[in-house]
Amino acid sequence: MGARLKAETDTEKLRRRNRELSILNTIARAMNQEVDLERALNTALAHVAELFDLKTGWIFLMEDDGRFYLAAAQNLPPALADHPRRMSGICTCLDEYEDGKLAAPENITCSRLENLVVGTAGLRQHASIPLRAHGKPLGVLNVASTDWGDLSDDDLQMLYLVGDLLGIAIERGRLFNRSVELGAIEERNRLAREIHDTLAQGLAGIALQLEAAEALLESGSDTARVQAAIAQALRLTRDNLEEARRSVLDLRAAPLEGRPLPDAMAALVREWAARRKAEAGFEVIGSPRPLPVRVEVGLYRILQEALTNIGRHAYARFITVQLIIMPEHVRLVVEDDGRGFDPAARHENRYGLIGMNERARLLCGDLAICSAPGEGTRLEVTIPLEAQ
């Protein structure tokens, strides 16, 4: 009997080890296929949820200045998904992590769901797994299920190993993103040099045609030859102007000047309000996080154009601007108490709206406008981050 019990115990151990190796192998293989940080985090959450039979998970990452941001989430309960403010700021698990108390995975009562009844999907606790790479703190992985029971020590230990794999993937993803940004800067500088050369050649051609026209005039030549030289100069001028508009505006340095997007937007709103002698409010909802450069520049330009439109047409006394940042999307909302308009009616000179809509579409996003005469205007732009 004792030998049989020992054999069963050994069999159970073998099965457990095989399961653990299978989980680690699956997650490691998935992580190796993703170099983009955003996709790596979402892939990790999906595999952890499936392999551990869990439903909900989210990842907080730490920035260089020590602030945390919500980097990825899967199946958050409505009480959190529909209220981004509840997913920002410090909570119990992040406090413990900062204080060095979260050295290993543990089951924690979620302070973000405390005192909430509606929309929690039965969640009250989650397992928190510290994320590190080479001793460097990276953030926290939280996982939970609606039929929650504290995870066993074996599962917590497995999640600790998964956390190590995820930490390596995070570091690799960040290195990849930095290399992409550096490559983009180098490419922009190269293209700027090429454009400079192109414009210089075009301007030289214009000067040459104008000098020829001047010489023809001084020599009393046929008027048709003078007109032909001037016409050629005008054609070159138009071509170069179009080239300058098309290329230089897109390739010049990003307008954020090295500032985080929320800081740059806040400064833009303050400056606009001071110039217009209007009241303005700016708010960031959710956890501020690094976004792709093209998304940051696009949103900044859309806000810039929206403020310009309000100043020219709305005669607003008060505006509010919200930047809502979630793992799957970022949203910009601009509201004013101006005179409003009928979005369905035809309007002349609506180039600002056209430009904002084009910028949103280039980022695979949507622009929605809600307005009526005398009732102000609400502009909402949603950019999906997965598409970037």
Last residue of a domain, one of 251, 286, 303: 251
One domain for residues 48 and 134: yes
Q: Which residues pair with 133 in a beta bridge?
A: 136
Distance CA 288, CA 336 (A): 24
One domain for residues 161 and 285: no
Phi, psi of 219, rounded to the nearest 5 degrees? -90, 0
For residue 220, tell me if it sits in a domain: yes
Which CATH number goes with the domain that contains 303?
3.30.565.10
Residue 341: other Cβ atoms inside 10 A: 19
One domain for residues 163 and 62: yes
pLDDT of 367 strictly over 90: yes
One domain for residues 72 and 154: yes
The residues, ordered by sequence, that sit 6+ positions from 336 with a Cβ below 8 Å of its Cβ are 310, 314, 316, 318, 319, 376, 377
One domain for residues 97 and 130: yes
pLDDT of 359 strictly over 90: no
Angular region, 290: left φ>0, alpha ψ -120 to 50, beta rest? beta
- CA dist 48 → 101, 109, 155, 166, 272 (Å): 24, 20, 11, 11, 46
Higher pLDDT, 308 or 51: 308
For residue 110, tell me if it sits in a domain: yes
Question: Which tens digit of pLDDT belongs to each residue from 225-248?
Answer: 888 888 888 887 777 666 665 555
Phi, psi of 162, rounded to the nearest 5 degrees? -60, -40
One domain for residues 224 and 318: no
Q: 199 and 243 in contact (C-beta within 8 Å)?
A: yes
Domain around 172 = 2-179
DSSP three-state, residue 187: helix
State how many domains the chain has.
3
Q: What is the mean pLDDT of residues 66-74?
A: 90
Confidence bin at 253 (pLDDT 50/70/90): very low
Residue 207: other Cβ atoms inside 10 A: 12
Distance CA 268, CA 258 (A): 14
One domain for residues 197 and 298: no
Which residue is listed with tokens 């993937």?
169
Q: What is the pLDDT of residue 152?
A: 79
Last residue of a domain, one of 251, 285, 304: 251
One domain for residues 233 and 293: no
For residue 256, tell me if it sits in a domain: no
- For 231, the token pair is 């016409």
